[in-house]
Amino acid sequence: MRYMMFIKHPTDYDHSNVPPALFEAMGGFIAEYAQKGMFIDGAGLKPLAKGTRVRLTGGKVIVSDGPFAEAKEVVGGYSLIEAPTHADAVALATKFMELHRTHWPEFEGESEVRPLEE
C-alpha cells in the first residue's frame, strides 16, 4: 500500500540552518529505501514566503501569497512510500524522525503518515 508522509514544523525555518549531517544522513536513508522499493518520491519544501494559497471560503476563491502569518504548523516536506503494512510505514517514519533527533537535536516537529486511497 502507498502512504504519504508529511514532515511538519511548528514554525517556518531557514533551510540554511539545517545541519549538513542531517542532509547526508537523509541521502543514505533515501538511497537505502529507494533500493528496497519503499521510497518512491519526496522532497523538502521551500519556505512559506515562496508559497501561495488558493482558498475557497464563503463562495469565493481567494488567492494569497506567502508568507502566512496565521500558520500554526508548516509542512516542510513530503515522502511517497510503499509499505506492506501501516506498521511498516510508521516504522519508516520513526526512523526518519530519529535521523532528525540524532543530527539536529533542537529540531521539533512531527511526521504524519496517511494511506492513499486505492
pTM confidence score? 0.85
Which is nearest to 62 in space by CA: 73, 75, 52? Answer: 52
Q: Left, alpha or beta for 59 (phi > 0: left; psi -120 to 50: alpha)?
A: left
Q: Is the pLDDT of residue 70 over 80?
A: no
Which CATH number is 17's domain given? 3.30.70.1060
> What is the SS3 assignment for the chain?
CEEEEEEEECCCCCHHHCCHHHHHHHHHHHHHHHHCCCEEEEEECCCHHHCEEEEEECCEEEEEECCCCCCCCEEEEEEEEECCCHHHHHHHHHHHHHHHHHHCCCCCCEEEEEECCC
* Mean pLDDT (whole number) for 56-83: 90
Domain that holds residue 64: 2-115
- What digits encode the pLDDT tens for the residues 7-66? 998 888 777 788 999 999 999 999 999 999 999 999 999 888 889 999 999 999 999 998
Given the DSSP bridges, would you call strands 2-9 and 39-44 parallel, antiparallel or unpaired?
unpaired
Q: How many domains does the chain have?
A: 1
